[in-house]
Chains A and B, each alone.
Chain A
Amino acid sequence: MAYALQQLINGISLGMIYGLIAVGYTMVYGIIGMINFAHGDIFMVGAFIALISVVMLVSGGIMDGPAAILIVLLASMAVTALYGWTVERVAYRPLRGSFRLAPLISAIGMSIVLQNYVQVAQGARVKPIEPLLPGGVTVLHVDSFVVQFSYMQMLIIAVTLAVLAVFTWLVTRTPLGRAMRACEQDRKMASLLGIDTDRTISLTFVIGAALAAVAGTMYLLRYGVIDFYIGFLAGVKAFTAAVLGGIGSLPGAVLGGLLIGLIETFWSAYFSVQYKDVAAFSILAIVLIFMPTGLLGRAEVEKV
């Protein structure tokens, strides 16, 4: 029981990270209908910017503790958003209105570029950092087993919820969110009604990248080691989460992320660590076979 509770805490905090990345996938997919393959690597870039800021602030002895985390988070979000914007501008915008596979290949190319760019610029070795927020609260004490709820996990959950609240407000209450939803429904009609669709799409990428940066920062602070290759697996898992939740659906992305995080954690805890990826992917396949549009996705209406 205590063991399961611990896994639940671990699973939710991991799932939050996946959920944040998945939102970026699902937003882009909703608006321009493409799989942004480079999004996982945007997450990796975000983690690296956070790493560099941490080293600069903490190892430089300028700042420490929660204030440092806030600055690191903001720095990572700002620069990663710029990366997201640039990727869209360079690799996707020229292909707008082109056929479906062209942006996909371009995105795969961009993913290779980002990965190897970071490898060349920052080196291939793994980068460890000291924990910024050690310690935690003991939730439960059963026999010799202690259920720990670390401050870092609390931070991840709190930050994710806050970011998602802001994001929900942005999408549902602001003119930008309205424009985004309009583009999602019918891009041509939206542009006829005076919405700057190019700008809206750019901003979608910027927001998606900023969310990925939050995920990257949280990942770095939670696990303490990153390398240039973390983006691939995290990206695939997050995309899996987005599809599982029903691609195009924002609550679905978060739900899918949580599910993937929980499945992975519980599978590693009770069965085998080696096959945790197999478990996540198999669940995806099974869900899609019985619910081809994901958990919260709308069924696509086919018009002839």
Chain B
Amino acid sequence: MSATTAAEARPNAMAGAVKDAAITALVALGLFIPIVGLRTDVSPSGTLMLRQRWGDVAILVGIAFAGRLAMLAWRAFRGEAKPASAARTEAIRKAGKSVAPVLLALAVVLPFIPGTGRYELDLGILVLTYVMLGWGLNIVVGLAGLLDLGYVAFYAVGAYSYALLATTFGLSFWVCLPLAGILAAFWGILLGFPVLRLRGDYLAIVTLAFGEIIRVVLINWASLTGGPNGITGIPRPSFFGLTFSAGGGPGSFADFFGIEPSPTHRVVFLYYLILALALLTNWISIRLRRQPLGRAWEALREDEIACRALGINVTTTKLTAFALGAMFAGFAGSFFATRQGFISPESFTFIESAIILAIVVLGGMGSQIGIALAALVMIGGFEVFRDLDEWRMLVFGGAMVLIMVVRPRGLVGHRTPSVALREKRSIGAEHVAEGHG
């Protein structure tokens, strides 16, 4: 009985799927005809002319049709999605326990793995910078639940602080690093004060506006920041006073240790520097989570009214989250400046804030290892697609949408509570609030 109905239902389902895909193709046709099919080009006479590209439209519409059909087939084949069971969450958590040490070990030995060249190390530095920024922003967004869309402003403050202090006063990197962090934290508090009363999306837009203000000021205050040209000739860091000059010579790193001078030394040094900074960020945020301050952040994220009722000072709690998050961005910024040797406002656009926030959310807000994985996937993936040129950002944005649609709770969708009675059990991320701030 049921077998026959299933057999009867199949052609209907097939026809329905084809019809659905045909509608998708029709929509795609409407979307692509003007923008893809008719390209505007500036003709030699200076006016615009149209170039027709119907072949491309046909290909795209075909892809839309096939893609929709494949998606429907996949859905029918897979059946209803099952909610994650407690056992599965537990199994993933156990697996996750071994992932972190393995990743850390890999990160530590990376420079010594045979076949690791300049390119791999540079990529490692880039990924670690974003891991650090992600962990820093996580304090604000993941722990305290305050949505900050202008995080890159603090990154910029850190970078410019170091660049200006180093080029103007000739201070060394190791003196400037804490200074840059403190200055960025100061800016965090300065921004934090007026926006404390704002909640949710109002906070988001003001932080975004703040990020834009900083960038516009950096572009236009040319006498201080060099304007759009930025600052060049930022000094490189030294290893306890030993420089990394390519030719060796007295006082250089290679000379002191009696090894062959090589430009790789500096890259390896920078790699370990950012690794140490990132781990410091991680360590501090993990430790803080267990202290009253970190608990107050998480309580604030879960329920602000209850926090007030219990006598938690919401103002200082929010300000410390802002200040600490900003401080780590400041550290990362001064590292960025010393690594590049050159900075300009170009590097501190809104898209950077968006990428860092995406890393935090894709990582599964509040999960340290998740953020590291997300940074690896996003930034590493972005580099893998280097050959795609102008298509790269398109793929990047598409991946952001896709990951969110498939895994709205991020890559690591479970938490271990910071505080627990008797035994700590991991819980699904659905049970973690995200804050209203």
Interface flags for B303-331 (1: CB within 8 Å of A; 0: not) read 00100000000000000000000000000
B268 at the A interface (CB under 8 A) = no
B291 at the A interface (CB under 8 A) = no
B123 at the A interface (CB under 8 A) = no
The closest CB in chain B to the CB of A113 belongs to B397
* Interface 9-mer from B3-11, B242-250, B403-411: B403-411
* Shortest CB distance A104–B (Å): 8
Q: Say yes or no: A111 contacts B213, CB within 8 Å.
A: no
Q: Say yes or no: A243 contacts B400, CB within 8 Å.
A: no
Q: Which of A85-117 contact B (CB under 8 A)?
A: 85-86, 90-91, 94-95, 98-106, 108-113, 115-117
The closest CB in chain A to the CB of B227 belongs to A274
Which listed residue, B42, B199, B361, B394, touches A113 by the CB 8 Å rule? B394
Which listed residue, B40, B201, B213, B358, touches A247 by the CB 8 Å rule? B201
B284 at the A interface (CB under 8 A) = no
CA distance A25 to B34 in the complex (A): 25
Interface flags for A233-262 (1: CB within 8 Å of B; 0: not) read 000100110010001000000000000000
The closest CB in chain A to the CB of B219 belongs to A274
A232 at the B interface (CB under 8 A) = yes
CA distance A269 to B394 in the complex (A): 38
* A113: B residues at CB distance < 8 A: 394, 397-398, 401
* B198: A residues at CB distance < 8 A: 288-289, 292
The closest CB in chain B to the CB of A233 belongs to B212
* Shortest CB distance B399–A (Å): 8
* B256: A residues at CB distance < 8 A: none
B220 at the A interface (CB under 8 A) = yes
B280 at the A interface (CB under 8 A) = no
* A267: B residues at CB distance < 8 A: none
Q: Say yes or no: B34 contacts A275, CB within 8 Å.
A: no
* Shortest CB distance A91–B (Å): 5
* B186: A residues at CB distance < 8 A: none
The closest CB in chain B to the CB of A49 belongs to B34
* Shortest CB distance A288–B (Å): 6
* Interface 9-mer from B90-98, B176-184, B349-357: B349-357
CA distance A284 to B141 in the complex (A): 22
The closest CB in chain A to the CB of B39 belongs to A122
Q: Say yes or no: A122 contacts B394, CB within 8 Å.
A: no
The closest CB in chain A to the CB of B47 belongs to A59
Q: How many residues of B contact A (CB 8 A)?
A: 62
Q: Say yes or no: A106 contacts B405, CB within 8 Å.
A: yes
Q: Say yes or no: B434 contacts A120, CB within 8 Å.
A: no
A82 at the B interface (CB under 8 A) = yes
* Shortest CB distance B96–A (Å): 21
* Interface 9-mer from B107-115, B125-133, B163-171, B202-210: B202-210
Interface flags for A37-65 (1: CB within 8 Å of B; 0: not) read 00000000100110111011001100000
* A60: B residues at CB distance < 8 A: 50
Q: Say yes or no: A121 contacts B39, CB within 8 Å.
A: yes
Q: Say yes or no: A109 contacts B220, CB within 8 Å.
A: no
CA distance A119 to B201 in the complex (A): 29
* Shortest CB distance B192–A (Å): 12
Q: Say yes or no: A285 contacts B206, CB within 8 Å.
A: yes
A35 at the B interface (CB under 8 A) = yes
The closest CB in chain A to the CB of B350 belongs to A232
The closest CB in chain A to the CB of B404 belongs to A106
A146 at the B interface (CB under 8 A) = no
Q: Which of B342-401 contact A (CB under 8 A)?
A: 350-351, 354, 357-358, 361-362, 365, 390-391, 393-394, 396-401
A302 at the B interface (CB under 8 A) = yes
The closest CB in chain B to the CB of A53 belongs to B34
* Shortest CB distance B210–A (Å): 7
CA distance A119 to B392 in the complex (A): 12
B73 at the A interface (CB under 8 A) = no
Q: Say yes or no: B305 contacts A284, CB within 8 Å.
A: no
* B216: A residues at CB distance < 8 A: 274-275, 277-278
* Interface 9-mer from A8-16, A127-135, A154-162, A164-172: A127-135
A304 at the B interface (CB under 8 A) = yes
* B208: A residues at CB distance < 8 A: 236
Q: Say yes or no: B404 contacts A105, CB within 8 Å.
A: yes
B217 at the A interface (CB under 8 A) = yes
B35 at the A interface (CB under 8 A) = yes
CA distance A129 to B195 in the complex (A): 43
A123 at the B interface (CB under 8 A) = yes
Which listed residue, A51, A109, A122, A274, touches B397 by the CB 8 Å rule? A109
Q: Say yes or no: A55 contacts B50, CB within 8 Å.
A: yes
* Shortest CB distance A50–B (Å): 10
Q: Which of B1-52 contact A (CB under 8 A)?
A: 27, 30-31, 34-36, 38-42, 46-50
A94-B405, A118-B35, A130-B47 known; A108+B400 contact, CB < 8 A: yes
Q: Say yes or no: A240 contacts B205, CB within 8 Å.
A: yes
CA distance A237 to B370 in the complex (A): 34
CA distance A91 to B42 in the complex (A): 33
CA distance A11 to B35 in the complex (A): 31
* A98: B residues at CB distance < 8 A: 408-409
Q: Say yes or no: A116 contacts B397, CB within 8 Å.
A: yes
Q: Say yes or no: A281 contacts B401, CB within 8 Å.
A: no
A282 at the B interface (CB under 8 A) = yes
* B213: A residues at CB distance < 8 A: 277-278, 281-282
* B219: A residues at CB distance < 8 A: 274
Interface flags for A150-194 (1: CB within 8 Å of B; 0: not) read 000000000000000000000000000000000000000000000
* B34: A residues at CB distance < 8 A: 48-49, 52-53, 75, 79
* Shortest CB distance A271–B (Å): 12
* A289: B residues at CB distance < 8 A: 194-195, 197-198
A125 at the B interface (CB under 8 A) = yes
A117-B35, A281-B213, A284-B209 known; A109+B305 contact, CB < 8 A: no
A–B Cβ pairs within 8 angstroms, 17 of them: A35-B201, A51-B48, A52-B34, A56-B50, A59-B48, A91-B405, A95-B404, A104-B147, A106-B400, A108-B357, A108-B358, A109-B398, A113-B394, A120-B390, A125-B42, A285-B194, A293-B202
Assuming A82-B30, A101-B365, A240-B205, what are 13 further A-B pairs, CB within 8 angstroms? A35-B201, A48-B34, A102-B361, A109-B358, A110-B401, A119-B390, A120-B391, A123-B41, A247-B201, A275-B220, A278-B213, A281-B210, A289-B197
Binding site for A on B (CB under 8 A): 27, 30-31, 34-36, 38-42, 46-50, 141, 147, 194-195, 197-199, 201-202, 204-206, 208-210, 212-213, 216-217, 219-220, 305, 350-351, 354, 357-358, 361-362, 365, 390-391, 393-394, 396-401, 404-405, 408-409, 430, 434
Q: Which 9 A-B pairs have the closest CB atoms?
A: A109-B400, A112-B397, A281-B209, A113-B397, A102-B408, A109-B401, A116-B394, A98-B408, A106-B404
